[in-house]
């Protein structure tokens, strides 16, 4: 165990340095209310698309990865990023939050049982208990109990699924594939413009803080919550299109029902 924790701390420090460097070089993030606003605490790493820290003894390598599925009225992505000895480390992305967890696990025959606790410094933190059967390593199921008293817990059944950026998915894929022109936007209503703009973020796996926007995209099979910080991931084409769409949104807001008719 001493050797494992030494390796784990060393690897964590290296990963932290890399994250700091990448964040410092990332462009400034938009503060538009429907845009990719950051909601993580200082204790949570925001660069989830970076290759996660993966420490695992040979028998446990198959447990590493991300599992996705319903979590109450939201969609959750649960990542297992490190397992060794009797310890597990990971994080969850749900409800506009990116939260780390750590704890322990044990094996009984083919069944792995995990217990992971979030830090407790966020109102939605709690304790996860879940299992994975090595006979079906792509399935994860369990329960979550909030630390806050009086709040209901949740049960979940997740499937292994890896996030992959795909510019071709969605209702308006052209917003990620080419530069938009005025003719593409001038007859669109404000709600459609807002959806088109936020769909760009959704293709990058952004977990929306706004409930209505989050629920719209969580209905899509292609959508996998993967990050709460979009900085550094938008393409040059997408950045230009976002600014153009915003201008048309403003115009539509000012002229109301007269716009787009």
Q: Is residue 168 part of a domain?
A: no
Q: How far is CA 152 from CA 167, 169, 213, in A?
A: 38, 35, 24
**116 vs 79: CA distance, rounded Å:** 12
Per the structure block, which two tokens stand in for 189?
A: 């209503």
Task: For residue range 66-119, list pLDDT tens digits in order.
Answer: 999 999 999 999 999 999 889 999 999 999 999 999 999 999 999 999 999 999
CA proximity to 170, closest of 198, 140, 135: 198
The residue from 125, 160, 195 where one domain ends is 160
- Please state whether the predicted TM-score (pTM) of the whole model is above 0.85: no
Which H/E stretch holds residue 214?
helix 211-218
pLDDT at residue number 56: 57
The residue from 134, 160, 186 where one domain ends is 160
The residue from 128, 160, 192 where one domain ends is 160
pLDDT at residue number 85: 87
Here the CATH number for the domain that contains residue 195 is: 1.20.58.1690
DSSP assigned state of 1 = -
Q: Is residue 253 part of a domain?
A: yes
Does one domain contain both 133 and 189? no
Does one domain contain both 13 and 97? yes
Does one domain contain both 251 and 210? yes
Does one domain contain both 49 and 142? yes
CA atoms in the 13 A half-sphere facing the CB of 244: 20
Q: Is residue 217 part of a domain?
A: yes
Q: Is residue 169 part of a domain?
A: no
**194 vs 199: CA distance, rounded Å:** 8
**85 vs 57: CA distance, rounded Å:** 8
Q: Is residue 211 part of a domain?
A: yes
| List of the chain residues with pLDDT < 70 | 1-58, 254-261
Does one domain contain both 184 and 141? no
Does one domain contain both 110 and 223? no
Does one domain contain both 140 and 252? no
pLDDT at residue number 55: 59
**131 vs 134: CA distance, rounded Å:** 10
Q: Is residue 208 part of a domain?
A: yes
pLDDT at residue number 251: 83
Question: To which residue do tokens 């209702």 refer?
Answer: 171
Does one domain contain both 15 and 44? yes
Here the CATH number for the domain that contains residue 104 is: 2.40.160
Share of the chain above pLDDT 70, in %: 74
Per the structure block, which two tokens stand in for 41?
A: 């605490």
140 and 132 Cβ atoms separated by less than 8 Å? yes
Does one domain contain both 199 and 87? no
How many domains in the chain?
2
Contacts with 176 (C-beta within 8 Å, 6 or more apart), sequence order: 167, 170, 200, 203, 235, 237, 238, 241
Does one domain contain both 84 and 40? yes
Q: Is residue 231 part of a domain?
A: yes
**139 vs 158: CA distance, rounded Å:** 6
Q: Is residue 65 part of a domain?
A: yes
**What residue numbers bound the domain in which 188 lies?**
174-258
Question: To which residue do tokens 């310890």 refer?
Answer: 87
Does one domain contain both 11 and 121? yes
Does one domain contain both 153 and 198? no
């Amino acid at each position: 165990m001493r050797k494992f924790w030494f390796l784990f701390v060393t690897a964590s420090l290296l990963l932290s340095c890399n994250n700091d460097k990448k964040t410092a070089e990332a462009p400034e993030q938009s503060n538009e209310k429907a845009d990719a606003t950051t909601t993580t605490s200082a204790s949570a790493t925001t660069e989830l698309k970076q290759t996660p820290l993966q420490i695992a003894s040979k028998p446990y390598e198959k447990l590493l990865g991300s599992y996705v599925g319903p979590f109450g009225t939201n969609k959750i992505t649960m990542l297992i990023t490190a397992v060794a000895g009797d310890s597990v480390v990971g994080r969850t992305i749900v409800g506009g939050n990116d939260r780390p967890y750590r704890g322990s696990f044990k094996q009984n025959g083919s069944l792995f049982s995990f217990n992971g606790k979030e830090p407790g410094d966020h109102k939605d933190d709690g304790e996860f208990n879940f299992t994975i059967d090595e006979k079906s390593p792509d399935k994860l199921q369990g329960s979550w109990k909030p630390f806050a008293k009086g709040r209901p817990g949740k049960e979940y059944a997740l499937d292994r699924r890896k996030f992959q950026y795909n510019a071709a998915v969605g209702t308006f894929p052209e917003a990620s594939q080419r530069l938009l022109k005025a003719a593409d936007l001038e007859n669109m209503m404000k709600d459609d413009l807002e959806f088109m703009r936020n769909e760009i973020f959704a293709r990058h796996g952004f977990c929306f803080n706004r409930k209505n926007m989050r629920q719209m995209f969580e209905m899509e099979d292609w959508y996998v919550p993967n990050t709460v910080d979009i900085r550094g991931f938008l393409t040059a084409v997408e950045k230009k299109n976002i600014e153009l769409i915003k201008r048309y949104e403003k115009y539509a807001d000012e002229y109301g029902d007269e716009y787009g008719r």
